Chain A
Amino acid sequence: MSAETAVQEVKKSEPLFSKKNRKLITNPLDIDNPITVQVLGICSALAVTTQMKPAFIMALSLTVVTASSNAAISALRNTIPSRIRIIVQLAIVSLWVTLVSELLKAYVYDVSKQLSVFVGLIITNCIVMGRLEAYAMGNKPWPSFLDGIGNGLGYGMILMIIAFFREILGSGAIFGYKIFEAAGIHYQGNGLMLLPAGACILVGLIIWVQRSINGYREH
């Protein structure tokens, strides 16, 4: 795929949040969702969703990384030799991920300890690489940046839904706050929800619900 065959050509006079650009953010939330439609990034969706707090930070970090690597790769897209483009993309992604991780370590040490390996795992997240290959290599930096934000949010939204059900059913809490205990009800956590299998079932249910609402069919 070469940069010349750009999928979308954004004219200079186009406003920053034109209809087309807004679509870049809203589409991944629903009909183009990275997890439920493209089925990317499943691995981390299963790994970090036992509690809502790490899921939230993960979603935030992924959004930052996807948006900034998308913008960086898009700016470089006309210079990248196609034979080594994957490794160039990987280098840029790792650069951002390492910077995010170093900043977390310096300024929010508690959170960085809680996330530990998860931040590093963003490098291997299929969504980031997927957006770079499918979008940033053929589009201008600003739309690419929005596309990254959109996909990060689409990923984050599903992550939060899964984490909500897993945390409340698995450990009876929301954001670490034990609601059943506070209400004086004894709640025996459902162990299945704490295992990756619980997340798999939830992803399946979410896909079912989403597709029955928006009528999406595989072509």
Chain B
Amino acid sequence: MRQSNLYIVLYAAMLTIVCGGLLAFASESLKEKQQENIALEQKQNILSTVMTLGENDNAAELYNKRVKAFVVDFKGNVVEGKKTTDIVVEAEYKKPAQERLLPVYEFRSEADPNKIEYVVLPIHGFGLWDKIWGYVSLQSDFNTIQGTVFQHKGETPGLGARISSADIQDRYKGKKVFEGEALASVEMMKGEGNDYSSEQHKVDGMSGATLTAKGVNNMLKDYLACYENYIKKTKQP
């Protein structure tokens, strides 16, 4: 009986239904908790580009107090009626640059809520194997990089995956994104161990991960161009 085709088909079907049901149940009941974690991580990422978060800092509270989040379009105008939480950066990335909706996170001064201390901009692109994304924060001159966070989905561990380490991200600190009025972005060079401290638009590369670095360069250039109009509008002369 156990070898009959009918038994096998029914057994497989039952197994699929039971396993599928269990997984669906687990996924649904844990979804809220998981999404909370993801939202918190995003807030931590945004904050970590402008400051060092300590163990005891409440990222959610700090975020609510200091960060003003809104959405702009390619022309730099604020899009009313859209919240940053509605925007999926990955989905916007697939649209042509001119049509993208772009979230902006302005980090306001504690003393004067109208004064922008830093601005944090989400970026998204493609590395060697899969998507890469992150945030770049600019100081109030809208030119000097305060910090960056890069994440990746499938870059090679030990090589391209190093973009998510502080060691690589810190290389961008203090670099300039504009050359006069023109957007120049920051480029990660080929080869590692060279000194670019006097160069405003270049950072040291990652040995063995030139293609991931290229992806990061394209991502920065692409998104800084998207935000260029917003930056020029908001920048106080």
Residue numbers of A with Cβ under 8 A of B are: 50, 79-84, 87-88, 91-92, 94-95, 98-99, 102-103, 105-107, 109, 194-195
Contact = CB atoms under 8 A, between A and B. Distances in A.
B23 A99 contact: yes
Majority DSSP secondary structure for residues of B touching A: helix
Contact of B37 (A80, A105, A194): A105
B23 A82 contact: no
Contacts of B41: 109
Contacts of A195: 158
A102 B19 contact: no
B3 A80 contact: no
Interface of B: 2-3, 7-8, 11-12, 15-16, 19, 22-23, 26-27, 30, 33-34, 37-38, 41, 158
Given A91-B19, A95-B23, A81 B34 contact: no
Given A81-B7, A99-B26, A195-B158, 19 more contacts: A80-B11, A81-B8, A81-B11, A84-B12, A88-B12, A91-B19, A92-B19, A95-B22, A95-B23, A98-B23, A99-B22, A102-B26, A102-B30, A102-B34, A106-B30, A106-B33, A106-B37, A109-B34, A194-B158
Majority DSSP secondary structure for residues of A touching B: helix
Contacts, number: 53
A82 B11 contact: no
Given A91-B16, A102-B26, A194-B158, A109 B37 contact: yes
A81 B37 contact: no
12 contacts: A81-B8, A81-B11, A82-B2, A84-B11, A84-B12, A88-B11, A95-B23, A99-B26, A102-B27, A105-B37, A107-B33, A109-B41
B3 A81 contact: yes
Contacts of A81: 2-3, 7-8, 11
Contacts of A94: 19
B30 A88 contact: no
B19 A95 contact: yes
Contacts of A105: 30, 34, 37
Contacts of B2: 79, 81-82
B169 to A, nearest CB: 16
